[in-house]
Amino acid sequence: MKVKAIFMADSSDAGIERAYDESVRTRLAEKLDLFPVYINQENAKLHLNELSDVEIAFSTWGIPNFSEEELQRYLPNLKVLFYAAGSVQRFARPFMFRNVTVVSAWAANAIPVIEFTSAQILLANKGFTQSARSYKQHGDYRQAQQISRAFPGNYSARVGILGAGMIGRGVIEMLSKHELAIDVFDPFLSDDRAAELKVRKTDLIDIFTNCDTISNHLANLPATVGILNKDHFDRMLPHATFINTGRGAQVVEADLIKALREVSTRTAILDVTAPEPVPDNSPFLQLDNVLLTPHIAGSMNKEVYRMGLYMEAECERYLTGAAMRYEVKLEMLETLA
């Protein structure tokens, strides 16, 4: 007899089709007794009998926020949730408190962020944003070239990485192919692991004072809200670049704006903001030394399929009794994004 499984999503949510493409859904249907209706708080009560022995759930972005009581009422025998997306902070605890194993595609979602960030760091060290903008606006080749020469290039440039979780470590490993000096701020990074990564552990003040490019990958926790502020941005080098693909709320944006206005050769590359999108009157839209991207660092378009494939593989491990690779433990929520 096949194991019973469901997709958790709003009835009109197209996210399931995006994360689990047709081939993945077909293979899952061959292996599992897959319920044909997407389940959420609104319709779960209509399917009490069918849901009573469901063992596996799949979901992605937009997963309904089930409470412990709802999980007990509607899905009393749920054993594992496969989440084809990244952070589980918003919804995971009720599942975990019910002893439901939560498995996330955070490793798959980390790949495009690592690629995006590493590319931006290498370009930032060459003064790409500032020199390209100047050349196009003024048509002055020599002026644009002069601007680029104020940046360090990628030999021995000092790069600061904030947070050495899955994404931060991935960026460090990708940058290890280049002759860069890498400083890291992460209270959870051990000295032994720092030595393995060939990075120097230090504090935020040191990084913002001395690094040519700084990239934020801090965990998304209450303790990190507003952690990056005037004390840090005011210390940025004259041609330093700050990159944020983490969370906008970790930045006191008024302090960053002030620092960018005071030294116009500083640069910010912001893929996330708070709020998101920025208001129409945001100074970020007016400052020439700010590059805004619409939250594209994470999985998009075909990259999203990879997350469904990761969860299909994890489901196969679960069904065969093999150890799963991407289970999220309750204690991990203290450090994961």
Q: Mind listing the pLDDT tens digit for each residue in 143-182?
A: 999 999 999 999 999 999 999 998 999 999 999 999 999 9
Q: Mind listing the pLDDT tens digit for each residue in 111-129?
A: 999 999 999 999 999 999 9
First to last CA, the chain: 38
Determine how many CB atoms are found less than 10 A away from the CB of residue 279: 10
Judged by average pLDDT, the poorest of 231-235, 248-252, 299-303 is 299-303
Q: Which of 149, 121, 122 is nearest to 134 (CA)?
A: 149
Residue 102 parent element (H or E): strand 101-104
Spell out the SS3 assignment of 149-170.
Answer: CCCCCCCCCEEEEECCCHHHHH
Rounded Cα gap, residues 274 and 248, in angstroms: 5
Per the CB < 8 A criterion, the answer to whether 217 and 171 are in contact is yes
Contacts of 124 (CB under 8 A, 6+ apart): 151, 212, 213, 241, 243, 267, 269
Rounded Cα gap, residues 88 and 67, in angstroms: 14
Interval 23-34 mean pLDDT: 96
